[in-house]
Amino acid sequence: MSEQYVHVHIIVRGIVQGVGFRPFVYREAKTHGLKGFVINTADGVVIEAEGLDSEAFINDLRKNLPKHARIDSMEIVESESCGYTDFEIRESTLGVGSVAIPLDTALCRACEAEMDDSANCRYRYPFINCTDCGPRYTIIQIPPYDRVRTSMKHFAMCDACHTEYTDPSSRRYHAEPISCPDCGPKLTFLDNVGLEIEGDPIALAVEMLKAGKIIALKGLGGFHLMCDATSDTAVAELRRRKHRKAKPLAVMFRSLEQLQEYAVVNEEERAHITGAIKPIVIVRAKSGTNLSVHVAPSIDRLGVFLPYTPLHRLLFATIDFPLIATSANISDEPIIVKADEISHRLGNVVDGIVSHNRSIVNALDDSVIQIAQGHVVMLRMGRGFAPHTLLLTNAIDKNILALGAHQKSAIALGVKKNMVLSGHIGDLGSIESDGYFEKTVQTFKRFYECEPTLFISDLHPHYSSTRYAKEQKKEHYGVQHHYAHILACMGEYTLDEKVLGFAFDGTGYGDDGSLWGGEVMIADNHGYERIGFLKPFALLGGDKAIKEPRRIALSLLFECYALEEVLGLKSPATESFLEYEIRQLHHMWTKQLNSPRSSSMGRLFDAVASLGGFIQTLDYEGQGGMIMESFVDDSITEPFDFTVTDREVVLSPMVEQIVALSTQSDAKRLIASRFIATVEAMMEYFVNLHPEYPVVIGGGVFQNHALMSRLYRRFGERRFYAQQQTPVNDGGIALGQLYYALNNLPYPKDTGSFRGL
């Protein structure tokens, strides 16, 4: 035996399951003439290899990695020879550990070509996939990822598929969801009460779409509602039936070429649109196209994506117009995954249902991202990105479950050496959402085989997630909402130092019982000091002010002017009221009746949208900022005036300047641009006070594309951290809560108190 003949035992962790990793290891081992085996285990992928060439083998594993795989760590131990006679792929051992769950992937090019080839056995097959593409997380009942533990277990492989599955040279070698028209799932077409209709389901769907009807179609993580995106009647009807007035709808295009007729996409956007995941990407809409005006009213941005399952692709084989493809749900509830639930709950919305018998085990919405100056801004983390696993250097002593906030709910689990953030659940507060929230908790416990002993929630006493944490009767702490936003960003980058944090958000519960949302903090992993905030203003009528920004605008005007002066102003905000209404609201303001005070930056955006005449009442959260965005002119960089007194950012000078501008002909462009410049200037003021700290941002306001692009340009030269892999909005809160807890073991404490409002 030669001296270089070695036996190595390797544990590989990362995204190494469901991405063709074991066949890849097999081929590399064969190439290098090694004997041994590869196996999925609780602890990661384990490789045993012996032979002369193991060093080159290990180098090639890193170098030639399959495109969707990711190696987070590789432990290599040399030991005695075991005398293996061949190299083989062994059946997975049960149990789960610190391995990342494999993620769903969009249809690959090779499978696309096969389904287009009339000579191929999977010609026009709606469930084609291979080790490079197809469903993963959404069909897994329990890891490790093997067919018997997915919803494909109900389909026995035919001989032809089995041959491919067991042939190491095949692209479908151990492609767990492998199937063909002979042995795989079947499509069905149902009417809106769930009765099966005879005929080719695709042809029936196409016929309905061409006739301007609305269908539900089963995708990877749930159903889509689809209709002709160029038909005003179809889209208006969808909005009417769904009671969704103006919130933008995503559009699916048959090809990149078609997409580019409707939207302007740059190189980075194109890479994501056509990449392995194919999320919804928010891009700039072209004007003057035949897209219905009801798709994204009053805004110049559009959520676009390409067909990512073979089923979507089949539709577009005979449809040449773009399709609305929006999650099938009721308002902001979780996405629906079962056909009977579609007919039961959305039967009055849809005209027909395209379904199939491969069940969706784990619901996941489409991911939504946008690109600012080449950087990803994650708006909704779902298909292809969730669950998101971050590997830590040290093991965590406890199993920690962080329960997130209330809107855009998501949970995060700290287990072994990992932080795992779930996908988007939806807005809590309904039976369906709260039920799905609890189901996700159960799924995480099962997937990661753990029983959490420490629970972290928001401070808000009335959130379902806070209540859930209390009900567990275990150790439980609350983390202040905006501090959690800063921590989420620190968690994504595993920062462990003092930072200057900007948390700009809607209204969240502060540690003093008031509503925060425009906060500047010096923070580290153990606590924070609030060094700046917007001077709190009154939300006249409480929740009503959140829907009617003109009420917030009015309260800002009352801060600057006497009542009679306000009545005499020529401002779009005051002009939207009758005189007696202004008098009533002034009374409310002076007596502080139902007028909680807030320092929220999100609410300030809304107020400026009202003062600038962009919008007076909202149909969805963030609408004011989105409408203003389309008026931002990057050549206008002059901020409005503001002062900072005793930590408070005082905006009355800005309010007066906006009022003066609002009657000018070019008012909207000037106000939108100068307001964004003001937010930047405000941040710059604090950055100049504390230039020694890296800048960290978090909160829903940073979903604003115009603002984010400018911030990357302004602060890009210094240490500037913004989340890219996890949601910058409340969908990332759980990660921040978890990061706080694991940095303060064994004795975390509340950061603030659970007080009533």
Residues of this chain that interact with Zn ion (CB under 5 A) are 108, 111, 130, 132-133, 158, 161, 180, 182-183
Which of 176, 606 has the CB closer to Zn ion?
176
CA–CA distance, 189 with 194 (Å, rounded to integer)? 9
- Check if the beta carbon of residue 279 is closer than 8 Å to that of residue 287: no
- Count H helices and E strands in the chain, helices first: 24, 31
Which of 156, 578 has the CB closer to Zn ion?
156
Give residue for tokens 């151990």.
174
Give me the least distance between CB of 112 and Zn ion, in Å please. Answer: 8
Give me the least distance between CB of 308 and Zn ion, in Å please. Answer: 12
Which of 132, 434 has the CB closer to Zn ion?
132
Which of 179, 726 has the CB closer to Zn ion?
179
Which of 99, 105, 1, 81 has its CA nearest to residue 45?
99
Give me the least distance between CB of 401 and Zn ion, in Å please. Answer: 35
CB burial of residue 211 (10 Å; 0-12, 13-18, 19+): exposed
Which of 130, 682 has the CB closer to Zn ion?
130
CA–CA distance, 490 with 281 (Å, rounded to integer)? 25
Q: Is the dihedral angle over the CA atoms 353, 354, 358, 359 positive or is it negative?
A: negative
> DSSP readout, 563-588?
HHHHHH---HHHHTS-HHHHHHHHHH
Give me the least distance between CB of 55 and Zn ion, in Å please. Answer: 32
Which of 133, 500 has the CB closer to Zn ion?
133
Angle between helices 601-611 and 652-661 (to 10 degrees): 30
Give residue for tokens 């042995």.
183
The two tokens of residue 547 are 């829907």
CA 347 from centre of chain: 28
Which of 180, 226 has the CB closer to Zn ion?
180
CA 206 from centre of chain: 30
Residue 380's DSSP bridge partners are 368
CB burial of residue 442 (10 Å; 0-12, 13-18, 19+): exposed
How many residues appear in the chain? 757
Give me the least distance between CB of 110 and Zn ion, in Å please. Answer: 5
Give me the least distance between CB of 443 and Zn ion, in Å please. Answer: 26
> DSSP readout, 447-470?
HTT----EEEE-S-TT-HHHHHHH
Which of 105, 673 has the CB closer to Zn ion?
105
H or E element: which one contains 713? helix 705-715
Give me the least distance between CB of 182 and Zn ion, in Å please. Answer: 5
| Beta pairing class for 215-218 and 70-79 | unpaired
Which of 747, 276, 697 has its CA nearest to residue 519?
697
CB burial of residue 65 (10 Å; 0-12, 13-18, 19+): middle
Give me the least distance between CB of 181 and Zn ion, in Å please. Answer: 8
Which of 19, 217 has the CB closer to Zn ion?
19
Residue 378's DSSP bridge partners are 369
Which of 161, 607 has the CB closer to Zn ion?
161
Give me the least distance between CB of 151 and Zn ion, in Å please. Answer: 16
The three-class DSSP label of residue 297 is coil
CA–CA distance, 165 with 176 (Å, rounded to integer)? 8
Query: How is the beta sheet containing 6-15 ordered, strand by strand?
Result: 70-79, 6-15, 44-51, 35-41, 87-89
Which of 161, 353 has the CB closer to Zn ion?
161
Which of 114, 333 has the CB closer to Zn ion?
114
Structure-derived torsion over alpha carbons of residues 207, 212, 213, 219, reported in degrees to the nearest 10? 70
CA distances, 144 to each of 177, 451, 468 (Å): 14, 19, 29
CA–CA distance, 107 with 141 (Å, rounded to integer)? 22
Which of 135, 221 has the CB closer to Zn ion?
135
Give me the least distance between CB of 221 and Zn ion, in Å please. Answer: 18
CA–CA distance, 403 with 455 (Å, rounded to integer)? 7
Which of 48, 164 has the CB closer to Zn ion?
164
List helix spans (H) across 480-571: 481-492, 543-547, 549-560, 563-568
Angle at 342 between CA 341 and CA 346, to 5 degrees: 115
Strands, E assignment, 328-451: 352-356, 368-372, 375-380, 388-391, 400-402, 412-415, 418-421
Give me the least distance between CB of 331 and Zn ion, in Å please. Answer: 35
- Say how many C-beta atoms besides its own lie within 10 A of residue 680's C-beta: 19
Which of 68, 408 has the CB closer to Zn ion?
68
Which of 309, 726 has the CB closer to Zn ion?
309
What's the one-letter identity of residue 35? Answer: K
Give me the least distance between CB of 160 and Zn ion, in Å please. Answer: 5
Which of 46, 107 has the CB closer to Zn ion?
107
Give me the least distance between CB of 184 and Zn ion, in Å please. Answer: 6
Give residue for tokens 């009374």.
587
Which of 124, 445 has the CB closer to Zn ion?
124
CA–CA distance, 392 with 594 (Å, rounded to integer)? 46
Give me the least distance between CB of 280 and Zn ion, in Å please. Answer: 21
For residue 617, the 8-state DSSP code is: S
Give me the least distance between CB of 173 and Zn ion, in Å please. Answer: 12
